Chains A and B, each alone.
Chain A
Amino acid sequence: MERYFQPEIECASRDEIVSIQNKKLRDQINHVWNNVPYYRSKMEEKGLSPDDIQTIDDLKKLPFLSKYDLRDSYPYGLLGVPLKDVVRIHSTSGTTGKRVVAFYTQHDIDLWEDCCARALVAAGATNEDVCQVAYGFGLFTGGAGLNGGSHKLGCMTIPISSGNTDRQIMFIQDLNATIICCTPSYAAYLGERMKELGLGPDDIPLKAGIFGAEAWSEEMRQDIQKTLGIKAFDIYGLTELSGPGVAFECSAQQGMHINEDHFIAEIIDPDTEEVLPDGTWGELVFSAIDKEAFPVIRYRTRDICRLTREKCSCGRTHVKMDKPRGRTDDMLIIRGVNVFPSQIETVLLNNGYGANYQIIVDRVNNTDTFEVRVELTPEMFTDDLGDITAKQKKLESGLQAMLGIKAKVTLVAPKSIVRSEGKAVRVIDNRKI
């Protein structure tokens, strides 16, 4: 039987959801108009006042908020409450520029943790479960979010953070952890380490995992499910909006329900900024309609995604988003062709390789060079040069079929590709353009 953390909201009718959204949107616009000079001046520039925003259909009148706008308003430019009401901050890793610092009131934390608790219940967790939170703790939202959600649900929570893989396995076994939350690449690594230790899926009590904070493919899901003997669920979130739990997967394991009572999602054409209909791929835009300290309206996530409102077998009524296909800024343009790292991952997993790879792009004599470094597994290695060369060629033709351009595959020793125990470094772009 399907369980819900907040059934009255998670299974509300479309009309109820829209009416909640309309009301919260009006309140939120009043909030930012009165308390955040940035939004007020942006609205005034467009000749808008709060009265112009009555329903979610009016959302499209409002200007977008970009990563650069957030950067320019660092640190306090979007703050919506006096600092004395802020109880915590989190921050992005800042890999693509200046960090974004997000502020939270107690109300904001509560709503965020509710979202994470919904995700845990959707993954099958109850208060009988033991939840090991192996996301990083600290400024990163992963650890704090799932930890809070797990508390709300009443699970015994192991705030182990990331890293120290052998200790992770020991705690899973000794404390009977049934749920694990971490990045998918770390889950895959955990599986590899278990194999090395001679442990199989039946040797650990885990039954489900919630994996997010980086892109992963359906093949990688199958892989993790098999090695860890669990059901693997995706979770989506952004520090700018709260953290993990903006959207989460349910038992259907097909798309993530967006918590529509807190977030309104739109899909736009990234070039024309025009709003696109459901079912169309485009850039995902979010408005947080229930946040006090760090109100974010029409934030362009840069994730390429689509929305679907088909009835879900789990009974939840909130709109679903697909796993993002890539990011507008993760997307590489190599020799004029759009390449998403997730496509490369799919080819590797289909050919029996692990998900550990690195893309190296450079420009020599005005032509892009494109190399994919792949770890050779001990099972793949034979004493036969021709055999290994054939494997290399097979990957190259698989990549060409998927991407439409030629890539050079280089096989490297296992574990030689740097893997942080958080996010994997997938792309090295040495082009100076």
Chain B
Amino acid sequence: MSIKQISVFLENKPGTLMEMTSLLAEKNVDLRALSLAETKDFGIARLITDDDAAAMDVLREGGFVAKLTSVLAFAVPDEPGGLLKLLQRIGEAKVNIEYMYSFLGGKEEDHAYMIFRVAHTAEAEERLRELGLIPITSETFE
């Protein structure tokens, strides 16, 4: 099961990130993971939240452009070489990673979580499952 991430367009000017996070705080949306990508002119914030519907509403009302995108998340044992093993399997499945980011503090202790954006998410997920790699579901974050 892929999970949903919220991508938000950020203008490159002071205060934009603060404005975005304050909108989310107002609606009691909890951020589980956050990653930023930027060019010199603009950025994209990628968020995993505990309430996508509320987050999308408040961001749109607040004048942000936001979109839901599908990503895959895996639990990784929090130990040296943990990520390496995961990446090796993904390589075996010939899945191309566009970007990835991590977060800690999910339900399973001793585990970190990695979020992957890949091309053709559904197809990639199928190939990974064949190799026994089962992505976690959004329940892990709620």
Contacts and interface: CB of A to CB of B under 8 A. Distances in A.
Nearest to A196: B60
Given A376-B9, A412-B11, A413-B11, A381 B65 contact: yes
A416 interface: yes
Contacts of A389: 39, 41
Contacts of B42: 388, 410-411
A413 B8 CA distance: 10
Contacts of A376: 9, 65
Interface string A409-430: 0111111100000000000000
Contacts of B63: 413-416
A385 interface: yes
Contact of B41 (A384, A392, A415, A416): A392
A45 interface: no
Contacts of B65: 376-378, 381, 413-414
Interface of B: 5, 7, 9, 11, 37-39, 41-42, 44, 46, 60, 63-65, 67, 69, 98, 117
Contacts of A388: 9, 42, 44
A382 interface: yes
A353 to B, nearest CB: 13
B64 A385 contact: no
Q: Is the interface of A mostly helix, strand, loop or mixed?
A: loop
A383 B11 contact: no
Given A376-B9, A389-B39, A414-B65, 6 more contacts: A382-B67, A385-B38, A385-B39, A389-B41, A411-B11, A413-B9
Nearest to A381: B65
Contacts of B67: 378, 381-383
A276 B85 CA distance: 80
Contacts of B5: 383
A382 B46 CA distance: 12
Nearest to B13: A412
A192 to B, nearest CB: 13
Contacts of B7: 381-383
Contacts of A382: 7, 67
Interface string A359-389: 0000000000000000011100111110011
5 contacts: A381-B67, A382-B67, A383-B117, A392-B41, A410-B42
A413 B15 CA distance: 14
A384 B98 CA distance: 9
B8 to A, nearest CB: 9
A378 B117 CA distance: 20
Nearest to B12: A410
A389 B11 CA distance: 13
Nearest to A416: B63
B98 to A, nearest CB: 8
B39 A413 contact: no
Nearest to B42: A411
A412 B44 CA distance: 12
A377 B63 CA distance: 11
B41 A383 contact: no
Given A389-B39, A413-B9, A413-B11, A383 B44 contact: yes
Contacts of A392: 41
A284 B2 CA distance: 63
A227 B37 CA distance: 35
A115 B94 CA distance: 72
Nearest to B71: A383
